[in-house]
Amino acid sequence: MNALNNNALLSRTIDMTHGAGGKASVQLIRSIFVKHLSNPYLEQGNDGADIGPVAGRLVLTTDGHVISPLFFPGGDIGSLSVHGTVNDLAVMGAKPVCLTAGFIIEEGFPVDALDAIVSSMAKAALEVGVPVVTGDTKVVGRGQGDGVFITLTGLGSVPEGIHLSGDRARPGDCILVSGTMGDHGIAILSKRENLEFETEILSDSQPLHDLAAAMLEVVPGIRVMRDPTRGGLSATLNEIAYQSGVGMALTERDIPVKPEVHAACELLGIDPLNVANEGKLIAICAPEDADALLAVMRAHPKGGDAAIIGAVTEDANCLIRMKTGFGGSRVVDWIAGEQLPRIC
């Protein structure tokens, strides 16, 4: 063990030796990953983690994070990846059990930046109380990766009596959101090259396992929960509408959007309903449960701006119609690809 006692990484950037499985790899893993993510499983240093028996129905989720920029107002790829994976488990009604992390790092990536990312990831995982039990690191040649790509897999367990699924929405059900829409996407856009604008908007990236648990405690019969990430609220609701074979009727005035986000969207010609969120969830429940659900959401620190935004309808075309603040109606469509800023 003596040769490995010196954990200090001498280089300032990642190079191909750090992914080759030899001493440099071990030094990298010990001086950054194990240092920050420390838990008994990681410290064992085995190829896999034996986590023992887990109670309840098991849920698995995986997410690849390929964002740019890596550091943004309100977060970074480290914390974002943890929040995203924990939220995927949360909206399945699952309590997070453990995470695995795969890193693909581009040759030449600064060690300081990697350290900051992993530290942030560790902090986020600690806050949720979910350990990163095993991981993998590879290095690819310069130009073959965008700095760093992170893939997280999450394992969770769902208690009995909870059955959340995108195909369970029924006509008459109420649709709720846990807070303001579009914050994350606008925070990212504000830093995008050739688009920069100054704003106080921070990404809303946060773990929602506690909010989801509180909601399910009061209304175990929630039909669907989902987090409206890429593609925003409109993509998520359209997905559910198709899965359940229903339509939806929304009221624009009831959808919470921060005035700054609204203004940024106006400036760029994009629709806040198409903009990504990383710390919000939508829930669909039976109409008789809506008031109780809204109350528990609003009482929770992560659901202060929660609102009922519409209802599920019967519609063979699975269209999402919205009464605009102006009085007329329009369809909230499932857009193709990312909405690009426009000048016309």
Residues that bind another protein (CB under 8 A): 193-195, 197-200, 259-260, 262-264, 266-269, 317, 319, 321, 323-331, 333, 335-337, 340-344
What does the DSSP 8-state code read for residue 200? -
Nearer to another protein, 3 or 344 (CB): 344
CA 54 vs CA 95, 97, 304: distances in Å: 11, 8, 33
Nearer to another protein, 123 or 330 (CB): 330
Q: Are strands 95-106 and 132-140 parallel, antiparallel or unpaired?
A: parallel
Shortest Cβ 262–another protein spacing (Å) = 7
Nearer to another protein, 63 or 252 (CB): 252
User: What does R_g of the chain's alpha carbons equal in angstroms?
Assistant: 21
Nearer to another protein, 127 or 333 (CB): 333
Residue count of the chain, please give it.
Answer: 344
Give the Cα-Cα-Cα angle 314, 218, 255 (nearest 5 degrees): 50
Nearer to another protein, 22 or 269 (CB): 269
- 306 and 179 Cβ atoms separated by less than 8 Å: yes
Find all residues with CB under 8 Å of 13, minimum gap 6, and list them.
107, 108, 109, 110, 111
Can you tell me whether residue 96 is helix, strand or coil?
strand
